[in-house]
Amino acid sequence: MGLLQAIQPPGWKRPKGYSNGIVGEGRILFVGGQIGWDADEVFHSDVFHEQWAQALSNVLDVVRAAGGGPEHVARMTIYVTDKQDYLAQLAEIGAAWKKHMGRVYPAMALVQVADLVEDRALVEIEATCLLPKEP
């Protein structure tokens, strides 16, 4: 995992799709909540997994602009407006994850919220990253 190391307490079942903890060192990057619109703030879909893929891509655009990549993402918090939409589209979400993140699984939380600031937004993803000390 490069700068980051997953932490797994002894005797715990291995998590699927996330890590229980991450340890690392470097420059800290806080990525503000990214939603499923493009760089021009235009939504191209009202389908959950398509907004998920765009939001995840947006997170990584910020990470790359700071000199990092998926391997530097230490944690994510994901806010969804409908948990059932998320659960119903896990296969498509997993495919988007593999495309953008590969086999990187940060510490994560997913929270259902009543609403997001942008009316069309179905998902918002924020991240904390540990980047190399030198940009």
Cβ atoms of 26 and 69 within 8 Å: the answer is: no
- CA distances to 24, 51, 56, 69, 131 from 28, in Å: 10, 26, 19, 13, 6
Q: Give the pTM.
A: 0.91
Query: Per residue of the chain (135 residues), what is the pLDDT tens digit?
Result: 457 888 999 999 998 888 989 998 889 999 999 999 999 999 999 999 999 999 999 999 999 999 999 999 999 999 999 999 999 999 999 999 999 999 999 999 999 999 999 999 999 999 999 998 876
Q: Residue 86: its pLDDT value, please?
A: 97
The CATH number given to 4-131 is 3.30.1330.40
The CA-CA-CA angle for residues 34, 36, 40, to 5°, reads 85
CA 69, CA 74: separation in Å to the nearest integer? 11
SS (H, E, C) 88-132: HCHHHHHHHHHHHHCCCCCEEEEEECCCCCCCCCCEEEEEEEEEC
Parse the chain into domains and list their residue ranges: 4-131
The label of the residue with tokens 């069309």 reads 120
